[in-house]
A and B are shown apart, each in its own frame.
Chain A
Amino acid sequence: MISFRSVGKTYPGGTHAVAGIDLDIPAGKLTVFVGPSGCGKTTCLRMINRMVEPSTGTVAIDGVDVRDTHAAQLRRGIGYVLQNVGLFPHRTVLDNIATVPVLNGVGRRRARARAAELLERVGLSPEVARRYPAQLSGGQQQRVGVARALAADPPILLMDEPFSAVDPVVRAQLQDEMVRLQAELGKTVVFVTHDIDEALHLGDLIVVFAPGGRIAQVAEPATLLAAPADDFVADFVGHDRGYRALSFADAGPLPMVQAPTVDFASAVAAAHADGQVGEYDDVLGAGRGLPRWALLVDDRGHPQGWLDRAGLVAGRPLTRDDIRLGGTLIRPGGSLRSALDASLSSPSGAGVAVDADGRLIGTVSAQAVLAAIERSRAAAASPEAEGPVVGFADSDTVRAVGEAR
């Protein structure tokens, strides 16, 4: 555990970068320092490895004041990932990763062997081992930066806005890998960002810093969204925090409706049976007063897309344009947010739910998801209830996602 006790930092000239904070950072968790620029989050991060010395108060790791250890020695036991990576341009990728083990006196050969293992761990191919940093993409450089920080297997990892300099697509990849890596390694990670979405995505615990170098709130992501401590936090978390809070609410069992489905193979076969209007009509039901949208399903039960019957003309061959792919899928263990998104993004207005193997379970309307959200709120308000109450409003409810798992 890393603890801050009455820690303050005042720069010459009287600027208060950090104003007497108290904070406990739990071991083995990913704690995010988030807040607007210039509110002391990086300063606090750097106090942990003594790159910044506090003006007042103490920072301690497992009860030992960091000032009791020589700065260089302390830093070799704490991984650090910089915003702009800061790889050593004159060393190969492998030697960059091997930096701290070599500093610790591990032989170069052994340090390189370990570096090669780490290369794989952070998702880089062995081919990049002998390259120099300037030959890597931004995303690759950042992965090497993470590998270098992990090389000596430090229990603590400090990350200072590590993914802010790469493009959004690469950033999302790196964030997902960070989640995976942390699940494998279980380090005590302190992660600085000014991006609240990144904080909510990665953090087990979020520390919101406010201007003036004070801490506005320390909370788990769901709590932060549901109950911001003050107007500053509410404003910082963002105007659509109510919607985003659904990300942390398990969708649980949702009332499913068995949507009219059409077997993909027979639909195509029927459409190609040129001139045989009767068969075409039987399968596709164009102009027969059937529901407008039918879900196409392949022979393994995987949903393929929605068929718009309103657009069909008897006798005209079926084309790709008649099938609308749109819509995300509701997967087992998904959140209320993903369920709502699936129904809102579906061309038919019904979200498609699949099981773990991607087979169709049923469809859910946005209204049904909203009802589930209401129940979830009601359950949260009454402390006796555990989780969302299951209720089946529709008579034609077939089965629930929960049973299908």
Chain B
Amino acid sequence: MNWDWLARNASEIISWTLAHVLLSGVPTVVGLALSIPLGALASRYRWAYPPTVTIAGLLYTIPSIALFVLLPGILGTGILDPINVIVALTLYTVALMVRTVADALTAVPPDVRQAAVAMGYRPLRRLITVELPVAIPVIGAGLRVAAVSNVSLVAVAALIGVPQLGQLFTQGQQLDFYTPIVAGIVLCAAIAVIFDAIILSTVKLATPWRRLGRAAA
């Protein structure tokens, strides 16, 4: 490891790290927000489930680099505009999460759903106040996969020149120099771990009924 090189490039690495956090974090949040209504529709209407899941699966097979290159043409944005990356990763998040949300809602115990119907809940309120809260643990598990996947996918955007930690890998390759590569891997991993911890603790806070020992006291 060449610590001097790291020290000299510290300010640039920090700004790349922040960009990386934004470029992977925003799509995770927006993608989740879009997946909930789509997943709810796929769970509620049986006929909608197979096409939704198939389209989502196909979407995920489009190579990220292809999407980064195609999106400016479709959206009318500049090739270096970070919006392209955010839109592309949001699509991937939706592709992963639609199925998770649909399955998580379908897995809500039928007795709980029936009880909500029998108590006189209307469908939207039932979804928001009964089914989604009960589905949080499963949705959270899916979101952890999507968030980590986004952190690694962002790095690919370095190939089209959008600045984030992926720059360290292209630099390292061009200079035949390992320090930036190692630094990039460590920082990406750190971001992934932090995202994971945030999701885990949010799920925990939102599901106090699963920590029975404490609630019993």
Q: Identify the A interface with B (CB < 8 A).
A: 49, 51, 72-76, 80, 82-91, 99-100, 103, 130-135, 148, 158
Contacts and interface: CB of A to CB of B under 8 A. Distances in A.
Interface in B74-123: 109, 111-122
Given A75-B120, A88-B116, A132 B212 contact: yes
A76 B215 contact: no
Contacts of B208: 132
Contact of B119 (A80, A84, A131): A80
Contacts of B113: 86
Contact of A72 (B114, B122, B133): B122
A100 B119 contact: yes
A229 to B, nearest CB: 32
Contact of A86 (B109, B120, B209, B216): B109
A133 B212 CA distance: 10
Contacts of B133: 90
Given A84-B111, A89-B112, A132 B118 contact: no
Contacts of B118: 49, 51, 75, 80, 82, 86, 158
B121 A130 contact: no
Given A82-B115, A86-B115, A87-B115, A76 B212 contact: no
Contact of B120 (A88, A89, A103): A103
Interface string B201-217: 00000011100100110
8 contacts: A72-B120, A85-B115, A86-B114, A87-B115, A88-B112, A89-B112, A99-B119, A135-B212
B130 interface: yes
Contacts of A73: 120
Contacts of B154: none
B134 A134 contact: no
B215 A88 contact: no
Contacts of B109: 86, 89
A56 B121 CA distance: 26
A88 B115 contact: yes
B78 to A, nearest CB: 46
Given A73-B120, A75-B117, A131-B216, A86 B111 contact: yes
Given A86-B109, A89-B112, A89-B134, A132 B209 contact: yes
Contacts of B111: 82-86
Nearest to B116: A88
Contacts of B114: 51, 82, 86
Nearest to B108: A89
A111 B54 CA distance: 45
B112 A135 contact: no
Given A86-B115, A88-B134, A132 B215 contact: yes
Contact of B121 (A72, A74, A134): A72
B111 to A, nearest CB: 4
Given A51-B117, A86-B113, A132-B215, 8 more contacts: A86-B112, A88-B116, A90-B133, A99-B119, A103-B120, A103-B121, A131-B215, A135-B216
Interface in B166-200: none
A135 B217 CA distance: 11
A133 B115 CA distance: 14
Given A72-B122, A89-B134, A134 B117 contact: no
Interface string B116-148: 111111100100001001100000000000000
A92 B216 CA distance: 11
Contacts of B216: 131, 135
A373 B130 CA distance: 56
Contacts of A82: 111, 114-115, 118
Contacts of B125: 103
Nearest to A145: B115
B120 A134 contact: no
A18 B109 CA distance: 27
Contacts of B119: 75-76, 80, 99-100, 103, 148
Nearest to A104: B120
Contacts of A148: 119
A72 B119 CA distance: 8
A140 B149 CA distance: 44
Contacts of B122: 72
A324 to B, nearest CB: 45
Nearest to A99: B119
Nearest to B130: A88
A103 to B, nearest CB: 6
Contacts of A91: 209
Interface centre among B118, B121, B208, B215 (most CB of A within 10 A): B118
A267 to B, nearest CB: 51
Nearest to A83: B111
A142 B118 CA distance: 16
B123 to A, nearest CB: 9
Nearest to A73: B120
